[in-house]
Amino acid sequence: EVQLVESGGGLVKPGGSLRLSCAASGFTLSASRMSWVRQAPGKGLEWVSTIFTTGHIYYTDSLKGRFAISRDNAKNSLYLQMNSLRADDTGLYYCVKDMVAATRERDYWGQGTLVTVSS
């Protein structure tokens, strides 16, 4: 059974940093395309970043180099390093195992970890 468990969220002051983790089980993370998606309170879904099995990485334009996605294959875990945090980074951050087109496998979402940026 595929499971994704996020951690690392919390309250941080503007300009601070956080590192989010996503512990994966039931599949091999290195063989999967993985993403982070966030949702500000009362707002819609916003894509943050995707890492492909090839290692190619993409980010939403608004981040301007402040975030970095990575993975530890040995730990079967995904990470999101978040620097220079701003109030508008506040929200619930979801770890997502993306769907697989070739096999029509659905995607899987964790329950999210809450990040609050406030002084």
Q: Examine residue 91 and tell whether it contacts another protein (CB under 8 A).
A: no
Q: Minimal distance in Å, beta carbon 28 to another protein?
A: 21
- Minimum CB distance to another protein smaller for 9 or for 110: 110
Q: Examine residue 58 and tell whether it contacts another protein (CB under 8 A).
A: yes
Q: Examine residue 53 and tell whether it contacts another protein (CB under 8 A).
A: no
Residue 57 — left, alpha, or beta (φ > 0 → left; ψ -120 to 50 → alpha)? beta
* CA nearest to 48, candidates 27, 31, 62, 29: 62
- Minimum CB distance to another protein smaller for 14 or for 47: 47
Tell me which residues touch another protein (CB under 8 A): 35, 37, 44-47, 50, 56, 58, 60-61, 94, 99, 101, 104, 106-107, 109-112
